[in-house]
Amino acid sequence: MSHVAIVTGAGFGIGAAIARRLVAGGVTVLGTDLQVGDDTPGALAVAADLSDPDAPAELFERAYAELGPVDILVNNASGWVQDTFTPATTDRFGRPMQPVTVETFQRQFAVDTMAPALLIGEFARRHIDRGAAWGRIVGLTSGGPLGFPQEVSYGAAKAAQDNYTMSAASELADHGVTANMVHPPVTDTGWVTDEVRTAVGRVGTPDGVAEVVAWLASDAGSLVSGNVIVLR
């Protein structure tokens, strides 16, 4: 059976690696990002701003029209912004930080919480309407239940996405849908320096994370649902 996937944040890094891995496994992929380039060969590349609440439905319409019904959804995109409750202006690696504001909240939650929720909702509605019996939802997360110091809005938005995805796992189980979150380790998408490697130890690769996501999105992952899978 041929599958169709939407992968968000597919313009670079982990998202691009996931799209490439799915394509290599025979999945037809619509990859979306604010800007799309040549990092996802074989995928239908569509530029979209996920902070726009109309974007999820438009992406599903585009996928359906050009590729067919979507049965795999990978919520990888992030509106990442580094904010803090402290007066600090840089983190321990010298990366700039800013105070928590309405703007940092809205940017982070629009892409990391609202968009995944609307995408899952669109996925679920279409899946149930056509009487489908196989589906996969995978999200990418970070931080954890004890917070994410120096990336506080990012951590909070991902925690909300975790909860939406766990709800999907429960509500959609009877329709053959699994839903999981993958928590990668620090992953080298071009920003990891020797100082970072020394500080954190093990550093992952986008391809390594993509292998796990692709497995969850396959028949082999059918018994795994409702989990936050931490990679180390």
Q: What residues are annotated to the active site?
A: 154
Distance CA 155, CA 231 (A): 17
CB-hemisphere CA count at 13 Å for 36? Answer: 22
- Specify the residue for token string 């944040």: 9
Provide the sign of the torsion angle of the four alpha carbons 38, 34, 67, 7, taken in this order. positive
List the structure tokens of 127.
Answer: 């899946």
* The CA-based dihedral angle spanning residues 48, 51, 57, 63, taken in that order and rounded to the nearest 10 degrees: 30
Distance CA 92, CA 66 (A): 46
Residue in 128, 6, 18 with CA at minimum distance from that of residue 60: 6
Reported as type and span, the H/E element at residue 75 is strand 72-75
